[in-house]
Structure 1
């Protein structure tokens, strides 16, 4: 087991996380909301896992960007995340597209952030070939 501890300081209305460069402000409108942080963490993790899977599968690639969108369940009092859609934009030669598409299926089972989410949250990953 690995334990890592962070301290969030209360600065005005926001909680902040000190980092070497500048503090992360965890407040919507002044920085990133905790929900936005969670969603982008899942997307970043998915991107890193996809890169690793492509490398292990000997698929030459260049990842340009990852976009993420999410929905919230407005019928529930706390409006929890309902779905997360991750799109990875990658330059991959046509002859590797089929293999690269199969690699997408390995993202969720190998991403610790996605594995830590409530199983009721639908996570969809896709790749767009450039």
Structure 2
């Protein structure tokens, strides 16, 4: 991976188009950390549901993060919300899988233990 500096913007080089790492023009590195945790959680959740043959449809995933109030203001919390469509009969098994996300997500495992990652499911 490569970072390049173009004027005021740092870019992460990607074959399908560079990612701008500047809050005003793209994503800040902190936003990318939160997005990485949410994306990894989603990949893990989907993968585990697929492995078990559980029918579902994730309609959307929302996330938000909070910074600590004290300098250097690290990320203190990431909330991930899954909006999922499923059969009523499969929900208990979906929730069983859901509670295994954090222990199977490499990004969450990489975060400092003080970073609280909370996830929730909303059934549609």
Name the TM-score, length of structure 2 as normaliser.
0.95
Trace 1:1-130 onto structure 2 (pairs within 5 A).
6-74=1-69, 76-130=70-124
CA distance in 2, matches of 1:58, 1:106: 16
Compute the RMSD of aligned alpha carbons. 0.9
Secondary structure at the residue paired with 1:32?
Answer: coil
- CA-CA distance at 1:94 after TM superposition: 0.4
- CA-CA distance at 1:65 after TM superposition: 1.3
Unaligned runs of 5+ in 1: 1-5
How many pairs are equivalent? 124
- CA-CA distance at 1:101 after TM superposition: 1.2
Unaligned runs of 5+ in 2: none
Name the TM-score, length of structure 1 as normaliser.
0.91
Secondary structure at the residue paired with 1:79?
Answer: coil
